[in-house]
Amino acid sequence: MGIQFKPEQLKAYFVCGSQDVHGDFVTIVKQAIDAGITMFQFRDKGAGSTLTPSQRLVVAGQIRKMCRDAEVPFVVDDDVELALAVGADGVHVGQSDEQIQRVIQQVGSKMFVGYSCSNLTEINRANEIAGIAYYGSGPIFETGSKADADPVIGIAGLAKLVTAATRPVVAIGGITEASLTPIIKTGAAGSAVISMIAQSDDLKRTVSAMNRA
């Protein structure tokens, strides 16, 4: 049993993989943890990843340990095998990733499950599935971090999804410091970001802004 899911952990959610960083991946995650992120998602995928599968396992294990020491929930994106291998606290599943029902069965009570839902149809369907902890919804704005991103939903689109959702919603996609407060005003539990943290010139300021919003 890892860390139990709590909605407030979605407030300052850092999503990252080797493809998203210029410097050393593990160092940047350590700095983000020290700056106060409330959840971390290991999302190492795509043509830009610099890790082989065996390196990915090692690096995921290192970050997993850093998160445990800091009591920051550690989530693995779209790879149940890796999540189980490193004893993750959670696993995150997209609509076109591993099948949500299967994943829920596979992880049982060992970890919580997050699910990407980017429109009302997906939210309404997900509301009927037992065993999901939270929804990730977006992209809110244009993003340069995901090649196959769904259409932009904007703040108004997010507000509609939050209203329909029976679970906490974390917003994702193109989020900057200026959009943190409008996002929280929709009733979303927090923001999940890649570039805002991975490319921040002041991690303390950036992560504090997420926690304050």
Query: Which parts are annotated binding residues?
Result: 41-45, 77-78, 97, 116, 143-146, 174, 194-195
Q: Which is nearer to ligand TZP, 141 or 208 (by Cβ)?
A: 141
Residue 97 CB, shortest distance to Mg ion, in Å, is 4
Residue 66 CB, shortest distance to Mg ion, in Å, is 23
Burial 119-128 (b: 16+ CB within 10 A, else e): beebbeebee
Handedness of CA 26, 27, 30, 31 (dihedral sign): negative
- Among positions 133, 193, 203, 213, the unique one binding ligand TZP when judged by CB under 6 A: 193
Instruction: Give yes or no for a cis peptide into 139 (omega within 30° of 0).
Output: yes
195's contact among ligand TZP, Mg ion, none, with CB below 5 to 8 A by partner kind, is ligand TZP
H or E segment to which residue 162 belongs: helix 154-164
Distance CA 144, CA 121 (A): 25
**Stated length of the chain:** 213
Q: Binding of ligand TZP at residue 169 (CB under 6 A)?
A: no
97's contact among ligand TZP, Mg ion, none, with CB below 5 to 8 A by partner kind, is Mg ion
What is the contact surface with ligand TZP in residues (CB under 6 A)? 15, 138-139, 143, 145-146, 149, 172-175, 193-196
